[in-house]
Amino acid sequence: MISFVATPIGNLKDITLRALEELKAADVIFCEDTRNTVRLLSAYEIKKPLVACHKYNEREAAEKLLALSREGKRVAVVSDAGMPVISDPGNIVASVLKEAGEPYTVLPGPCAFVCALVLSAFPARQFTFVGFLPEKRSKRLEELKRHIHVRGTLIFHCAPQDLDDYVSLLYEVLGERRACVVREITKIHEESVEFLLSEGYRGEKRGECVLLVEGAKEENPLLALSEREHFEHYLALGMEKKEALKQVAKDRGVAKSLLYKRLLGEAE
C-alpha cells in the first residue's frame, strides 16, 4: 500500500495520529529531504529506511517506489512540510502510479495556503492557489496576466527574499489591491500582515511566507472607455480635474501620477 502523508508545516505537534501510525507501519519512506524527515521521525522515535524523492530525481524515485509497492512493501510519501504535491514533490509520483494502475491513498493534514487563507480573513468562498511564480520575469508576467480578472482571492507561495519583487510585479499587473503576507504559520512568530500593493510589504521577511491578494472587483462599465473618455465622463458630472483624475486612477487601479502625465501633463 502507498500513502501520501501530510506532515507538520511548523509545529511538530500538528502531526495526526493516523499519520504517525502510517509512518511507523511503513517499510520505507520516500521524502523530499532526508535530513528534515529524520528530525520529524526522531521526535516520535521512528526509525525507517528513507529514500530521497525531490524535483531533480522524482521520476526515477517514482519508478523505484512503484517497484517496491509491487513487491508488497508498504510505502509512505512525505515532503518537508505540509501535503506532498502542493508546491512540493509528489505530482510525478502520483501520475506514474495512476498510469500504472497502482492504488494509493492520502492521509490529510496541514496545508500552509489553507491556514494562510483563514489567518488573512480574505474572502474564501472562491480562491485560486497559484503557488510559486516562475523564475523568469517574462514568465511571471504571463502567469499574472492570466489572473487579472479572477474574482476569488489569489494565493501565492513566496520565498522571503522574493517578497518585494512579487509585490511590485503584482501591483504592476493587477493595479491597486489589498494584500496580506502570512508567515511562520503554527510557529512562535506567526503573523498576518495586511497592506496595499502600492505601499509594499513592510513586515519581516523571514521564514516561510504565503502571499494573498484580493480578487478582481466586478467589472466597471467605465473601463471599456479610453482613459481620456473615462476622465471626461467625470468632468461632465461636475468633478474638478484633480478629483476626476483621482477617481479614474482608483477605477483603473493605476498610479495617479501616470494618469496625470498622460491626461494633464501636456495641457499643464
Q: What distance, in Å, lies between the first and last C-alpha atoms of the chain?
A: 74
**Per-residue model confidence (pLDDT) at position 267:** 46
At the topology level, CATH places domain 2-107 in: Cobalt-precorrin-4 Transmethylase; domain 1 (3.40.1010)
Q: Would you say 84 and 9 are in contact if contact means Cβ atoms under 8 Å apart?
A: no
Using alpha carbons, list the distances in angstroms from residue 57 to 60, 87, 92: 5, 16, 10
Backbone angles phi, psi at 202, to 5 degrees: -115, 10
Measured CA to CA, the distance from residue 235 to residue 231 in angstroms comes to: 7
Measured CA to CA, the distance from residue 158 to residue 135 in angstroms comes to: 11
CA 177 to chain CA centroid, nearest Å:
17
Using alpha carbons, list the distances in angstroms from residue 72 to 22, 23, 60, 67, 77: 15, 16, 19, 9, 16
Assign domain 112-213 to its CATH superfamily: Tetrapyrrole methylase, C-terminal domain (3.30.950.10)
pLDDT in 10s for each residue of the chain, 268 residues: 999 999 999 999 999 999 999 999 999 999 999 999 999 999 999 999 999 999 999 999 999 999 999 999 999 999 999 999 999 999 999 999 999 999 999 999 999 999 999 999 999 999 999 999 999 999 999 999 999 889 899 999 999 999 999 999 999 999 999 999 999 999 999 999 999 999 999 999 999 899 999 998 876 777 778 888 988 888 888 888 888 888 888 888 788 888 888 887 654 4
Full-prediction pTM beyond 0.85? Answer: no
Measured CA to CA, the distance from residue 66 to residue 64 in angstroms comes to: 5
**CA-based torsion, 62, 68, 72, 76: positive or negative:** negative
Nine cell digits for residue 36: 528534515
For the chain, the domains span 2-107, 112-213, 221-264
